[in-house]
Amino acid sequence: QRDLLSEVTGGKVTEAEIAVQGATEGQSVGSSVWTSHKLPSTGRMAEMLKPPVPEGAIYGSVLLFSPREQATTLYVGSYLELQVWLNGTLIHEHARYQRRGTDYTDEYPVPLQQGKNVLLVALHSNGQGFFGFEPGTEYTVANSGIGYTFSKPAIHVGDTFTLDLRAENVPDLAGWQFDIAFDAASLKAIEVNEGGFLKTEGATTFFQRGTIDNTAGRIRGLSSASLSGDGVTGTGTLLSVTFSAKTNGQT
């Protein structure tokens, strides 16, 4: 069995790794990167690509959240090569051509664990693959990201305002770290405070508020980690930064 992810990255990224952890938007895979898309109504992953679709394989990673442990059935179908993993286990492998179809051809009893579940599929770029769970299976599909909000809808010279950085629909987050860059000619950073997301249900964190450099327009070394190691799932504020507006501008 060929691991194409491993082949194009020299072993730095593998199918086994993605099948357990899921894909990260923007992460490089050879000359390609993982990109977030919403499946079209036809369900064809190839329609998310810019034509012409190259000959090869398409990988898709879906993050599912189950409210509880469930025993369910995974339905699969294809007419060209198709592989399906659930939480690191190869559930289905089809490597032969069969007549074209638009429905499931195989079914497998599978467990969904409470919380995060990773579904990984790999199929021929000119083929079709079908997969889904039996009716009544309870889960939600994650669409994780980072968002931000301002404390004021309009900001004028001389105003002091707060920028909140938010985790949105994230799974099992136990820590984060990043730097912030801003236009030092337009803004002055005043204060940094941790948000409450990782402190859900009274958890304790180790928070590093970083170093503000208003000359360079940087806040370096921001981070926070749950001391219990337990992750938090959902949406909430990670960090709040207070700025003052010095001049008109954009950042």
Per-residue pLDDT tens for 201-227?
889 999 999 999 999 999 999 999 999
> What is the per-residue pLDDT for 96?
58
Residue 233 has what pLDDT?
83
More confident residue, 65 or 84: 84
Domains of the chain are 4-141 (2.60.120), 145-245 (2.60.40.680)
First to last CA, the chain: 49
Please report the pLDDT score of residue 75 as a whole number: 92
The encoded tokens of residue 98 equal: 């069969």
The whole-number pLDDT of residue 121 equals: 92
Strands laid side by side in the 129-133 sheet: 106-112, 70-78, 129-133
Tell me the whole-structure pTM to 2 decimals: 0.64
What is the pLDDT confidence band of residue 102, given thresholds at 50, 70 and 90?
low
Q: What is the identity of the amino acid at 19?
A: A
What is each CA distance from 184 to 51, 151, 211, 243, in whole angstroms? 42, 20, 14, 11
In the chain, % of residues over pLDDT 70: 90
Which string of b and e fits 195-211 if b means at least 16 CB within 10 Å?
bebbbeeebebebebbe
Neighbouring CB atoms inside 10 A of 191's CB total 12
